[in-house]
Amino acid sequence: MQFPEIKPYIFKIGTLEVRWYGLMYILGFLAAYLIAVSDAKRKKLPLTKDDIADLIFALAIGLIIGARLGYALFYNFSYYLANPLKVFAVWEGGMSFHGGLIGVVIAAIYYSLKKKIGFLQIADLITPAAPIGLGLGRLGNFINGELYGRVTDVPWGMVFPTGGPLPRHPSQLYEAILEGPVLFFILWLVRRSKAPTGVTFWVFLALYGLFRPFVELFREPDQQIGFLFGSFTEGQLLSIPLFLIGTTMTVISYRKKSADSKKGKP
C-alpha cells in the first residue's frame, strides 16, 4: 500500500501553517476539560469550570515543556547538549510521551497543593481524557508520515515517503487504536466502578506500560539510538517501569480498600 497523500497542514497562509498535529493537541486538551468538568461535578469536588480551565492550562504547559525536554534527554541527548538552543526549536519536531508525563505529573502536583486537593483525585480527574489525546496524537504522527514501523510483508504494509521503498507496519495506527479507544474504554469502566482513589491513574500507567512495549515490536527504532541491550528500544525501556509501578499501586490500592472494609472504614 502507498502512503495516502495527506498534507501535514490543514491550511496555510503564506509561511503560517495550521497543522493537523497541532489540532490534535487542541482537541485533546478540549476533551480533557469537558471530561474533567463532568467528573468534578459527579464527584462533587470543589472545583469550578474556571478552576478546571486553569488546571488544563497548567497541564498543557507541563506537557509541552516536559515532552520537549524529555525528547532531548531520552532520545537525542548528545545532539542537544552540543546545540542547547535547539531545544526551543519545537517546529523541528521531537516530543516524548514519557517526558510529557513527567511534566503533567509535576503540574498536577503543583495544582493539587495550590487547591489543597489530593494529587490522586486530580490524577483520576484528568486521566480518562489521556487516551483521546494519545490516540489523536498518533493519528497526527501517521499524517506526518513519521514514527513508522519496521519492514514487513503483511498485506497492509505501507510505503512511507521517508521510509524507503519497502513496505512497513503502520505502527502509528496500531498505537492509535491501543492507546486511544481501547485504553479509553478500559479507563471508562474503571472510572464508573467503585475503584479506590488513584486506581484510574494507576491503571492508565500499567496499560500504557503494557501497550507501548508491545507496539514497539512493530515500530522502527529511533535512528539515532537503534536497539539497546540487544533487542530493546528506548520506548520499551522507558515504559516497562510504568507497567510495574501502575500494576503494583493498583494491587496495593485494592488491598488497602479491602482491609479498610474489614475494619468498617468507608
- The three-state secondary structure class of 40 is helix
114 inside domain: yes
* pLDDT tens digit sequence for 46-62: 999 999 999 999 999 99
Identify the burial level of 186 via C-beta atoms within 10 angstroms of its C-beta, where 0-12 means exposed, 13-18 middle and 19 or more buried.
middle
Contacts of 242 (CB under 8 A, 6+ apart): 98, 101, 205, 206, 208, 209, 212
Domain count, the chain: 1
- The three-state secondary structure class of 158 is strand
Q: So what's the pLDDT on residue 265?
A: 65
Q: So what's the pLDDT on residue 13?
A: 82
* pLDDT tens digit sequence for 171-197: 999 999 999 999 999 999 998 888 999
Neighbour-count burial for 33-47, b at 16+ CB within 10 Å, e otherwise: bebbbebbeeeebeb
4 inside domain: no
175 inside domain: yes
pLDDT per residue rounded down to tens, the chain (266 residues): 888 878 878 888 877 778 888 889 899 999 999 999 999 998 899 999 999 999 999 999 999 999 999 999 999 999 999 999 999 888 777 899 999 999 999 999 999 999 999 999 999 999 999 999 999 999 999 999 999 999 999 999 999 998 999 999 999 999 999 999 999 999 999 988 889 999 999 999 999 999 999 999 999 998 889 999 989 999 999 999 999 999 999 999 999 988 777 776 65
**Do 8 and 20 form a contact (C-beta atoms < 8 A)?**
yes
Q: How far is CA 65 from CA 54, 95, 191, in A?
A: 17, 9, 28
Give the count of beta carbons closer than 10 Å to the beta carbon of residue 257: 16
Q: So what's the pLDDT on residue 100?
A: 96
Q: So what's the pLDDT on residue 5?
A: 78
> What is the identity of the amino acid at 163?
G
Question: How many CA atoms within 13 Å lie on the side-chain side of 261?
Answer: 8
Residue (of 122, 129, 127) closest to 108 by Cα position: 122
3 inside domain: no
Residue (of 140, 79, 77, 130) closest to 101 by Cα position: 130
DSSP per-residue letters across 15-28: TEEEEHHHHHHHHH
49 inside domain: yes
The mean predicted confidence, pLDDT, of the chain is 92
Point out which residues pair with 228 in neighbouring strands: 232
Q: Give the integer Cα–Cα distance in Å for 248 and 165.
A: 44
Cell of 7: 498534507
Contacts of 47 (CB under 8 A, 6+ apart): 40, 55, 115, 117
Q: Give the integer Cα–Cα distance in Å for 162 and 258.
A: 53
246 inside domain: yes
117 inside domain: yes
Q: Give the integer Cα–Cα distance in Å for 86 and 92.
A: 9
**164 — alpha (psi -120 to 50), left (phi > 0) or beta?**
left
Cell of 1: 500500500
50 inside domain: yes
> For residue 92, what are the domain limits?
9-262
- The three-state secondary structure class of 159 is strand
Question: How many CA atoms within 13 Å lie on the side-chain side of 62?
Answer: 19
